[in-house]
Amino acid sequence: MLKIAIQKSGRLYEDSIRLLKECGIELNNGNKQLKAVAFNFPLEVYFLRDDDIPQYVYDGVADIGIVGENVLLEKTKDIDLVYRLGFGRCRLSIAVPKAMQYESLDDLRGLKIATTYSTILQEYLSQKQVNAEIHEISGSVEIAPGIGLADAICDLVSSGSTLFTNGLKEVEVILRSEAVLTANKNLSEEKKQVLDKLLLRINAVKTAKNNKYILLNAPNHQLKNIFSLLPGMKSPTVVPLAEAGWSSVQSVVNENDFWEVIEKLKQYEAQGIIVIPIEKMIV
């Protein structure tokens, strides 16, 4: 039985639960319990505060955990980062009052910066050789300049709307973060095997999300060009159409170059292009 720690409630909760579900793992009870057991996979789920997860994984109370990379780096526990999950994206940034003149990091010298990420901030400032005073607080960092507690802040940002409503502007990005899967360094062989099974599933789900299944009709004299655009998993599937000189092509296309590929396919006389989402993809 592998024990995974996930956030009890908050920004990573929904996506963590969804990921397990997409991996075909069903939990025997809803949320708001301390733990749940999967009935179709050897996995036990612990619901915890995100700040505590690195410690629990380090201690082996949980074997693996899902946390923001920002939390992982702040807690500096000696645990492994095994997979970048692609959700919970945000950045850890320095922000100053809108009215402040800001040109470079030099402008932070001697200022008081409020943050809950003192370890990461300290390391960043030392590396940049900026001497500023770090004021560690546990929450509501964005109001610190407004109430005269600090001159600047270092906090997590995604859209920037919280900064905006508090009269702040983002001036430096220290770290780009996303949710990651972490693991204890001393897992037993048995647990490692379960983790590998879980990773295979996570990978299948993530790869599927990044790809689309594509079907199209094309004149045979263009097939070479079309194959160069759609290499597929091994190579494209080609089936002759009833109409002479034409074929149906089936392949996969990466989400990132999707529109570019579609435009070129049109130039190569492709017709009847159908694009279908993929549920799982094992390469």
Check residue 52 for interaction with Zn ion (CB under 5 A).
no
* Residue (of 137, 129, 167) closest to 155 by Cα position: 137
Residue 154 Cβ vs ligand ATP, minimum distance, rounded to whole Å: 12
In the block, residue with structure tokens 């645990």:
79
- The item of Zn ion, ligand ATP, none sharing an interface with residue 11, based on CB under 5 to 8 Å by kind, is ligand ATP
**CA quadruple 129, 134, 139, 144: dihedral sign:** negative
- The item of Zn ion, ligand ATP, none sharing an interface with residue 169, based on CB under 5 to 8 Å by kind, is none
**CA 104 vs CA 108, 156, 171, 267: distances in Å:** 8, 20, 8, 48
Q: Is the Cβ of residue 139 or residue 148 nearer to Zn ion in the bound state?
A: 139
Residue 184 Cβ vs Zn ion, minimum distance, rounded to whole Å: 20
**CA 26 vs CA 9, 18, 40, 152, 197: distances in Å:** 18, 10, 6, 45, 15
**Region from 19-27, 46-54, 76-84, 160-168 binding Zn ion, contact rule CB under 5 A:** 46-54
**Region from 42-50, 57-65, 73-81, 185-193 binding Zn ion, contact rule CB under 5 A:** 42-50
Residue 71 Cβ vs Zn ion, minimum distance, rounded to whole Å: 7
**Among 44, 51, 80, 170, contact with Zn ion (rule: CB under 5 A):** 51
Query: What residues line the site for ligand ATP (CB under 6 A)?
Result: 7, 10-12, 49-51, 68, 70-71, 88, 90, 156-158, 177
DSSP secondary structure string for all residues of 49-106: -GGGHHHHHHHTSSSEEEEEHHHHHHHT-S-EEEEE-S-S-EEEEEEEETTS---SGG
Helix axes 189-209, 13-22, angle to 10 degrees: 100
Question: Within positions 89 to 118, which residues make up the interface with Zn ion, using CB under 5 A?
Answer: none
Residue 5 Cβ vs Zn ion, minimum distance, rounded to whole Å: 13
Question: Alpha-carbon distance 134 to 107, whole Å?
Answer: 15
**Among 50, 74, 142, 155, contact with Zn ion (rule: CB under 5 A):** 50
Interacting residues toward Zn ion by CB under 5 A: 50-51
